[in-house]
Amino acid sequence: MTILVTGAAGFIGFHASRRLLARGERVIGVDCLTDYYDVRLKQARLAELSAFKDFSFHTLDIADADALRALTVKEAPNRILHLAAQAGVRYSLTAPFAYSRSNLSGHLSVLEAARALGDRLDHLVYASSSSVYGERGGRFSEDDPLGDPVSLYAATKRADELMSATYAHLYGLPQTGLRFFTVYGPFGRPDMAYWSFSEAMLTGGTIRLFNGGHNQRDFTFVGDVVPLVCRILDDTPPPRNALYNIGGSHPVSTLDLVAALEQAFGIKAETEAVPAQPGDVSFTCADTSKLVRDYGEAPQTELAEGIAEFAPWFRAYRER
């Protein structure tokens, strides 16, 4: 099976590509290697993937619709795993056009490339986000009505879902959107709290706790996420735009995240309480009953367990 993976040098894209390659699939990786965070980390991920003979990589901006379409038609993948995006809520406050290019034009380019494959395409799976739910309480269900987004990032991810729904209706594309909830783990993203907190702890820095550390997130370990992504990708659905929450359903406060990191590193963190950041929500929690109903499982790893696996990897990576 041939799979086109956009964002192959990214966090989830790397882990998914590695799992697909390990089971014998052919993976065509695409990434534009932006400098949103240290490109050396993306290159380190690619170096691991390049050890597989069935991996090929193309430096390509998915917003370049003609180039993406040409590559897709040439390689004729059976499935597309679309994980490329401009991530991060806070960065959208200062670089809004990066989000319109990657998340809006880029997603549309992927849809057009998928449409060009016609009946040769068995499934397009793409990344959405828990941010589409906005500010609310309780468990977030895919059936919940969605209000106004609280960040530009959230708005672009919701727009992606709507574009995909339109292409499923007009052109019969078989699609699944995955609403990821705060995925973390080895080879993760330096802009995320668990990474930046770890860096501060190991260098004697101070951790800034937005909203005093009382925000709660449904942290989801990448080791749980990727097997589910690949299992869903293997499906051959009818024309649709199905949506699934990918989360652990166990919200944890930022203060508890700090405590887990202190335990894993054996270091006491220096912290500073600061006001809430614009664009942030105070709470996320995935209702995964639909995921369990259709695919039989959901993420289970507790935060302390996942952080205990991340910490030694992080130390080793910093010493490279």
CA–CA gap between residue 105 and residue 126 (Å, rounded): 14
| Residue 36 a catalytic site member | no
Report whether 226 contacts 19 (CB < 8 A): yes
Q: Amino acid identity of 43? A: Q
Q: How many residues does the chain have?
A: 320
The residue from 91, 99, 153, 244 that is catalytic is 153
Beta-carbon count within 10 A of 2 CB: 14
> Going by DSSP bridges, is the β-strand pair 206-210/240-246 parallel, antiparallel, or unpaired?
unpaired
Beta strands in the chain (DSSP E): 2-6, 26-31, 55-59, 79-82, 123-129, 174-180, 183-184, 206-210, 216-217, 220-221, 240-246, 252-253, 270-274
CA–CA gap between residue 143 and residue 298 (Å, rounded): 18
Phi, psi of 151 (to 5 degrees): -145, 155
Phi, psi of 103 (to 5 degrees): -85, -30
Q: Give the tokens for residue 262.
A: 């202190």
Torsion angle defined by CA atoms of residues 61, 62, 66 and 67, in that order, rounded to the nearest 10 degrees: 50
CA–CA gap between residue 9 and residue 156 (Å, rounded): 21
Q: Amino acid identity of 83? A: L
Helix (H/G/I), strand (E/B), else coil: 58 = strand
Task: List 113's β-bridge partners, or say none.
Answer: none
Active site (catalytic) residues: 153
